Structure 1
């Protein structure tokens, strides 16, 4: 390797595309060293990672041996874009003496129950919740939290095993299925949490937003604000849009301020993604994820407001960065997800996508499944069937585009 500074990127599922990260690193005059997780996805990506930088493979190794190899690279910074590798990155950063999220507050970043406790401790927000690890704890959780409620994994991402429950029987069934892996991935612990009721909004808009922030000590700033589309049943994301928003400017600023305070409460260094519920009583924190949000770099670049990946790299390297005003003024750029119906179990047929590709303001259509592929709402974003991106001149035009997308008959399910 050259004398250029080395940036470590702990790589696994959900990471920023390796080529994109490599491009941003080169633009910042540094070289990449990918720390590949011991997972099926990361191991399959080794040839790609190796073409873009050095690879430190963690498969079958102790953390001590990995740290010794990484220390020999004299790294200037460390980062991860994978929700599943935040805890690993915290430990590696501490061992290498590199700035990253606070080790003392690591669980508050990665565990949804500990995060709720932390927000209550600092007076940021108080939401009733109860951690459940066995089916016989459900009734106690209901008594403490009340109904309706939301059930979600203590550690998880992308709406996996996340759903609302309105009755005690429904809550018992959902928790039993999640803990037992019935019909979907198994969880070791779930949170039964007070359901935050959103303010009334018109379709296709969601009643929540996301704010990606960058933090260095007490300096926490918004990087990009994403407005959301309405959730699909039972609690699945349909994507986001940025630039112009249907949300009033003053409310966007209030949301961004709350997001920055939430990030500051968790000892985050670098970037974090904060989801905020828009309730009749004001914005409330849904959760903080200690990495850059999905699609955020793409949306920020296409909106012309910021380059989130570049800010993330500069923060990891300890370099200065600039951040934009949280209120967007550009086109309504979007990333829209098509999700299967709740009862669908398999893709029966996929027809010509030409009609989707010809829709106004749609620039890219990416099918994510083939005929015969299993589908299941419980796996969250992994169950999406297509992703579309583009740019509309304003939210009104975007709403028409979303309606047109959903009206196209291109896929059949069993």
Structure 2
């Protein structure tokens, strides 16, 4: 009997990769990962998990490999992960079109990943967004910041996980970050262009969608500025019915404006003095542990339902229960060598804790980047109420401790 396969393009270092593997296996599928460097994904080392090394930025090579796999497998679907390289999900859409499989519209995904093009489409549709300009040189950034008014947020035109994103309160901070972005240190996925954006201040909110339906809305918190390193997520967000409806309506307007509506997406908002404004639309599933929070809070397994969509099966987005789930990311406060990290076994034993995951081991060099790469682990918990979930998270996180020895300083 020909095995029914799910092809996964690339993977995730700390995200949903293993969960997609497990979901595929539960559905009777044989998952096969195609990746430029499969060794970077720890979960692929387990017995029985197939991975093939291939240049995933080469569409023709991927078409050839998928065609080869179709000789020995019934390829039911193809999906993948945006990860660090935003173009991967565009490639997924092109592969699905080539093989006549269910998948996202690659043109819509590509427009969405270009933050400038995305904002143009949202603005044309009347969706509230921060003031913005596009710039390619330090002088253009300086002029844009002056037009918008400080403080401003500078970010690469393409990217994810807050990589290269910084709040600049003063002109010298603008100059400093432009020098970093254009000076050869930042790795660009496209021609270097910088989005200069008004700093929208207010509570941070994330809307999670599947197809044209809002599955739920979460609240998030970042660590200390000027960077945007995610620290905490609570699902569902503590909103009034009126506030919830407003976010739902805006979410659906975003999907329509960007010609999305197939598969998962997540939409980031700030609730400002003038109401909610859209910060970004990501045409993909949120990274871990957000899908786990949704499953704990309302019983919808978005990853399994996404796989069903990818292979053309009927999905089920009905909510099974109503709880409050939360996650805390573990973030170090200094650079150096990690001497030890302990307390995970104590934290996971706290009633209500669903998962404790550490991403690092002792003797790991810690070099903070000011983005998602700063995380060294997370704690996930759930309970019947917001207050109880907050308390469980605090209790568990307080049990986890680590020691970092600063790197030695050498006299110049």
Please give the range of the TM-score, normalised by the shorter of the 2 chains. 0.7 to 0.9
SS in 1 for 2:161: coil
Residue in structure 1 matching 2:279, options 272, 283, 286: 286
**Match of residue 399 from structure 1:** 390
List aligned pairs for 1:6-405, cutoff 5 A. 6-13=5-12, 17-34=16-33, 36-39=34-37, 47-48=45-46, 51-53=48-50, 55-59=51-55, 62-71=58-67, 73=70, 75-83=75-83, 84=85, 85-181=88-184, 185-187=186-188, 188-198=192-202, 207-215=203-211, 220-233=212-225, 234-243=227-236, 245-268=237-260, 269-294=262-287, 295-324=289-318, 330-341=322-333, 344-347=334-337, 349-350=339-340, 352-353=342-343, 356-357=347-348, 361-404=352-395
Q: 1:406 to 1:163 in 2, by over 3 A?
A: farther
1:174-208 superposed Cα distances (whole Å, 9 cap, x missing partner)? 121233255xx44433322111121xxxxxxxx11
In structure 2, C-alpha distance between the alignment counterparts of 1:252 and 1:316, rounded to whole Å:
29
1:135-173 superposed Cα distances (whole Å, 9 cap, x missing partner)? 333212213432211122222222222221111111111
Aligned residues: 391
Residue 309 of structure 1 and its aligned partner are, at CA, apart by: 0.7
In structure 1, C-alpha distance between the alignment counterparts of 2:324 and 2:54, rounded to whole Å:
41
Residue 312 of structure 1 and its aligned partner are, at CA, apart by: 0.9
Query: How much is the aligned-residue C-alpha RMSD, in angstroms?
Result: 3.1
Q: 1:179 to 1:33 in 2, by over 3 A?
A: same
In structure 1, C-alpha distance between the alignment counterparts of 2:383 and 2:130, rounded to whole Å:
37
Residue 131 of structure 1 and its aligned partner are, at CA, apart by: 2.8
> What TM-score results when the alignment is normalised by the length of structure 1?
0.82
The gaps in structure 2 that reach 5 residues or longer are 407-412
The gaps in structure 1 that reach 5 residues or longer are 199-206
Q: 1:23 to 1:163 in 2, by over 3 A?
A: same
Q: 1:230 to 1:62 in 2, by over 3 A?
A: closer
**Match of residue 203 from structure 1:** none
Residue 263 of structure 1 and its aligned partner are, at CA, apart by: 2.4
Answer yes or no: is the 8 Å Cα contact 2:323–2:385 preserved in 1: yes
Superposition misfits of 4+ residues, deviation over 6 angstroms: none
Higher mean Cα deviation, 161-170 or 118-127?
A: 118-127
In structure 2, C-alpha distance between the alignment counterparts of 1:116 and 1:103, rounded to whole Å:
18
Answer yes or no: is the 8 Å Cα contact 1:210–1:226 preserved in 2: yes
